[in-house]
């Protein structure tokens, strides 16, 4: 269903682009906007992983790290990739107290997973495995490509709206022009965010299958969201366009409206994971909440 939802939303985005392009610049204007947006996002597709990792000051780590918790994190990430039938990803740590993680890379052969020091300090080993399984699901689903295509079309819509402001048909009803300028980019952004939310649900589902511990991922999501709200991620705040990469919105402390959120409601994600756990014949109750909304039902690991 999440794949179907993604395809429907991509079709809606394409239809929006076609309608706005035709109204603003006809076929020629539409093609120019698509080519410009495509060139920009093609560059991002090939270089985004390096840019993102550099922006968050991520440090690559290897198996055999002297810190036991870091060593376990690397070993589990590589083992889960093998279990998922993926090439071994590069593994990174970000020195940041906010618990969070993301995956990047243009394809499975060039993938990287990154976790913050805050996440390794907070979660048990089982929960960290659940998070890594989720991130590897993004790699397996080639979500980087999906979001690049989405960003290309959304960027083209925004360019067409700007084109309407400066070069639009002066004989057209000015109200129509204003609606195109302001509503089209907003509509494209909403569809883009909806696609991002659909991909998160799908990564939760596939991650539960890869890791085999959906309740551990559910517990991790509960903890991460609760603690992320208490710790500001300044690197993410400086570049909010990267927020969709993380497993939990790193800007959650800003209280963004759900309609404009790049992530689904965490409780809805937990409900889906607990349903999967029941089908696996495992947990039957959701993780309990602590003073920060963090799960307390599961035993913390030796470094948690």
Residue 16 lies in a domain: yes
For the segment 64-87, what is each residue's pLDDT rounded down to a tens digit? 899 999 999 999 999 999 999 999
CB 107 within 8 A of CB 130: no
Residue 159 lies in a domain: yes
Question: What are the residue ranges in the chain where pLDDT is below 50?
Answer: 254-257, 289-304
Residue 52 lies in a domain: yes
pLDDT value of position 258: 58
Residue 304 lies in a domain: no
For the chain, the C-alpha Rg in angstroms (whole number) is 21
Element housing 270 (H / E): helix 266-279
Spatial CA neighbour of 95 closest among 126, 53, 124: 53
pLDDT value of position 189: 81
Residue 68 lies in a domain: yes
For the segment 244-274, what is each residue's pLDDT rounded down to a tens digit? 889 998 885 544 445 567 889 999 999 999 9
Does the annotation flag 200 for ligand binding? Answer: yes
Spatial CA neighbour of 217 closest among 140, 304, 127, 100: 127
**Is 215 tagged catalytic?**
no
pLDDT value of position 149: 75
Spatial CA neighbour of 300 closest among 68, 130, 131, 126: 126
The pTM of the full predicted model, rounded to 2 decimals, is 0.79
**Domain of residue 18, residue span:** 2-279
Does the annotation flag 3 for ligand binding? Answer: no
Q: How many domains are there within the chain?
A: 1
Residue 136 lies in a domain: yes
pLDDT value of position 165: 65
pLDDT value of position 61: 94
CA-to-CA dists, residue 174 to 163, 164, 178, angstroms: 14, 11, 6
Residue 291 lies in a domain: no
Residue 285 lies in a domain: no
223 CA to centre of own chain: 18
pLDDT value of position 269: 95
Which residue in 126, 127, 135, 202 is the catalytic one? 135
């Amino acid at each position: 269903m999440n794949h179907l939802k993604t395809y429907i939303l991509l079709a809606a985005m394409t239809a929006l682009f076609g309608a706005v392009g035709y109204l603003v610049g006809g076929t020629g204007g539409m093609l120019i906007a698509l080519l410009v947006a495509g060139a920009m996002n093609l560059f991002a597709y090939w270089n985004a992983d390096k840019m993102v990792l550099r922006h968050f000051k991520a440090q690559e780590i290897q198996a055999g790290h002297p810190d036991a918790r870091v060593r376990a994190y690397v070993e589990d990430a590589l083992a889960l990739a093998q279990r998922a039938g993926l090439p071994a990803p590069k593994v990174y740590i970000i020195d940041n107290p906010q618990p969070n993680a993301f995956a990047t890379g243009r394809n499975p052969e060039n993938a990287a997973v990154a976790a913050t020091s805050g996440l390794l300090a907070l979660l048990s080993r089982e929960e960290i495995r659940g998070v890594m399984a989720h991130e590897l699901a993004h790699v397996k689903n080639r979500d980087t490509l999906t979001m690049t295509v989405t960003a290309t079309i959304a960027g083209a819509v925004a360019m067409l709206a700007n084109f309407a402001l400066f070069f639009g048909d002066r004989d057209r009803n000015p109200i129509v022009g204003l609606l195109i300028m302001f509503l089209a980019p907003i509509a494209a952004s909403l569809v883009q965010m909806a696609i991002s939310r659909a991909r998160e649900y799908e990564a939760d589902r596939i991650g539960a299958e890869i890791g085999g511990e959906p309740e551990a991922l559910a517990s991790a999501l509960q903890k991460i969201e609760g603690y992320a709200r208490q710790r500001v991620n300044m690197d993410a705040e400086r570049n909010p366009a990267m927020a969709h990469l993380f497993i939990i919105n790193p800007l959650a402390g800003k209280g963004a409206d759900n309609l404009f959120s790049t992530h689904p409601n965490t409780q809805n994600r937990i409900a889906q994971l607990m349903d999967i756990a029941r089908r696996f014949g495992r947990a039957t109750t959701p993780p309990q909440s602590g003073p920060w909304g963090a799960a307390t039902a599961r035993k913390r690991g030796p470094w948690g």
